[in-house]
Structure 1
Amino acid sequence: MKSVPVVLLSLCLVMSCDPDGGDSTQDGGTSQDAGSNPDAGTGQDAGSNQDAGSNQDAGIPDAGTTPDAGTAEDAGSITPDAGTAPDAGSTPDAGTTTDAGTIPDTTCGVPYLGDPNGALDFKIKALGPDWTSSPLTTGSTLTVIEPIQGGRVSFVGVYDVVNIDPCGVKILGALRDIPTGRVQLDARTANLQRHPDGRGSNIDADDASFSNIPLCPNQWSSRDLYDQEYELVVILKDRLEKKVLQKTLTVRPACNVPGEDAFCRCICKAGYVLGSPCP
């Protein structure tokens, strides 16, 4: 009988009985006593996602959603707010061709020929035996004519003139003796007439608007001033001399006015002595 208490005591020690012999499970403390998840703090107590702050509490909206931080409208869209092409300055705002500069007025009432910003250009012409003008190109005949003041000249002008103020232009014509380099020249100031195509020229009826190059009596050239090649130079300038263009052609002067050819050849021959009789 004495062995029984020893056995019971041993069992008690193994099972952690309390000294009063109460129920071991309740006395030693269940998971509830030691602290279950609810006691120590469940997701609710310790702070679930809701307590610690859900997305709502910690808050994407609180920190600022895209609308709070500023939508494209709030922050300012690029095109309307930063300035559209018209706001920043479109081509019309910066200046159209009309705004930046219209065709300038002229002083003689003849409209400007062409584009003020364009390159000056022209072609050469001369009065012929019938006192009407014809174009000159390399190798052309250049008529030697008797002017009102006497002697013999060639009337040289311009046509197809473009990109210049037609008022008060300066026309210089010169004929050069190729072997010696000697030159005869004449400069005129004239208003060009405007044609329907917008280009200009000398007026044929106004021979004073042409360069009257003095040729004969021949006291300057080493050769006859007919049936020989000479170099013709024409220079055109606007009245302010902002635009200048020179052109050069090789031509053949000719005494080809009917009824005047014999006298012309006499005073235009090489070595002519002033005052010598001519037929």
Structure 2
Amino acid sequence: MRYVPAVLLSLCLVMSCDPDGDDSTQDAGTEQDAGTGQDAGTGQDAGTNQDAGIIPDAGSTPDAGAGEDAGTTTPDAGSTPDAGTGEDAGTTTPDAGSTPDAGTPPDAGTIETPCGIPYLGDPNGALDFTITALGPDLRSSPLTTGSTLTVIEPIQGGRVSFVGVRDVVNMDPCGVSLLGALRNPETGRVVLDSRTVNLQRSPEGKGSSTDADDASFSNIPLCPNQWSNKDIYGQDYELVVILKDRLGKKSLQKTLTVRPACNVPGEDAFCRCMCKANYVLGSPCP
């Protein structure tokens, strides 16, 4: 064991020298060399620094695949309402097939009547008809201006003309008021007959008087001639026909100039006797 003089020991303590008398300076083993200093291995070298593997690279930053691309952000043509899902012309506006046309107003088959005969046509339509009369064969035919009006012997006696209607449209056929009149245009004198009838309905949906039922015709009393200053036959007279529904809501009058005739075979002579001007009631006829 070596003994160090007190002076040297004090100096050594001041200088922080090794107690064994070794050199107190930091050698390469105590200095921060490449192994203990921040060398490439312990410092922030390429391995420990945020290199390309640690720093967010193109693979870790939101790329086109992770961001909201065109497929996930904006609705494309497939997700927006197209012509197939929106209200197109087929689903919005009613077409000609869904609007009420001429076939949709109430017709004869849908309106009830008190006599059970279907309504004749459209209740909102205009009333119309054709004037008819029974001929010598007791069959009806339409009359026009200048037509012959047959004078016929009825069950009740005397002579009448059976005046009716056909082709009646847009009218209730039940309880119809049928008025027929013959007017002398020279004097204004009139003979007439009014009655209530149910019109017969044809397959075409039109109404008419019935040939087999003379009560469905106006029986205009013409002879014995107690009312006209001229012969009934062979002369022009005004024929007036008025048709009115049972409620009085629809009414139509038509007038024709006609010529009465005694043209029933086997009755012509007796007819002319009774229908001549100034006939005296009760006078014998051949």
- TM above 0.5, one fold? yes
Alignment of 1:104-253 (within 5 A): 104-253=111-260
1:263 alignment partner, SS class:
helix
Q: State which structure, 1 or 2, has the greater radius of gyration over its C-alpha atoms.
A: 2
Q: Is the 8 A contact 2:106 2:122 kept in 1?
A: no
Deviation per CA, 1:172-211: give whole Å up to 9, x if none: 0000001000000000111111111111100100001100
Q: Is the 8 A contact 2:149 2:259 kept in 1?
A: yes
Deviates more, 1:131-140 or 1:93-102: 93-102
Alignment of 1:29-44 (within 5 A): none
2:163 alignment partner, SS class:
strand
1:53 alignment counterpart = none
Distance in 2, matches of 1:97 and 1:143, equals: 40
Distance in 2, matches of 1:205 and 1:150, equals: 19
- Distance of aligned partners of 1:192 and 1:270 in 2 relative to their CA distance in 1, 3 Å threshold: same
Q: Is the 8 A contact 2:105 2:122 kept in 1?
A: no
The alpha-carbon deviation at position 110 of structure 1 amounts to 1.0
1:122 alignment partner, SS class:
strand
Q: How much identity, in percent, do the aligned residues show?
A: 74
Distance in 2, matches of 1:143 and 1:203, equals: 17
The alpha-carbon deviation at position 145 of structure 1 amounts to 0.3
Deviation per CA, 1:103-155: give whole Å up to 9, x if none: 42111111111101000000000001111111110000000000000000000
- The code of the aligned residue for 2:154 comes to P
Q: Is the 8 A contact 2:106 2:123 kept in 1?
A: no
- Distance of aligned partners of 1:233 and 1:99 in 2 relative to their CA distance in 1, 3 Å threshold: closer
- Distance of aligned partners of 1:98 and 1:201 in 2 relative to their CA distance in 1, 3 Å threshold: closer
1:222 alignment partner, SS class:
coil
Distance in 2, matches of 1:274 and 1:165, equals: 41
TM-score in terms of structure 1 length: 0.65
Deviation per CA, 1:2-60: give whole Å up to 9, x if none: xxxxxxxxxxxxxxxxxxxxxxxxxxxxxxxxxxxxxxxxxxxxxxxxxxxxxxxxxxx
Distance in 2, matches of 1:245 and 1:100, equals: 22
- Distance of aligned partners of 1:99 and 1:159 in 2 relative to their CA distance in 1, 3 Å threshold: closer
Distance in 2, matches of 1:178 and 1:202, equals: 27
Distance in 1, matches of 2:263 and 2:105, equals: 52
- Distance of aligned partners of 1:99 and 1:135 in 2 relative to their CA distance in 1, 3 Å threshold: closer
2:249 alignment partner, SS class:
coil
Deviation per CA, 1:204-225: give whole Å up to 9, x if none: 0000110000000000001100
Tell me the matched-pair count: 198
- Distance of aligned partners of 1:271 and 1:156 in 2 relative to their CA distance in 1, 3 Å threshold: same
Distance in 2, matches of 1:211 and 1:263, equals: 22
1:235 alignment partner, SS class:
strand
Q: Is the 8 A contact 2:175 2:196 kept in 1?
A: yes
Distance in 1, matches of 2:203 and 2:105, equals: 26
Unaligned runs of 5+ in 1: 1-78
- The code of the aligned residue for 1:108 comes to C
- The code of the aligned residue for 1:145 comes to I
- Distance of aligned partners of 1:232 and 1:96 in 2 relative to their CA distance in 1, 3 Å threshold: closer
- The code of the aligned residue for 1:125 comes to T
- Distance of aligned partners of 1:205 and 1:85 in 2 relative to their CA distance in 1, 3 Å threshold: same
- Distance of aligned partners of 1:93 and 1:195 in 2 relative to their CA distance in 1, 3 Å threshold: closer
1:263 alignment counterpart = 270
Alignment of 1:81-92 (within 5 A): none
Distance in 1, matches of 2:228 and 2:146, equals: 19
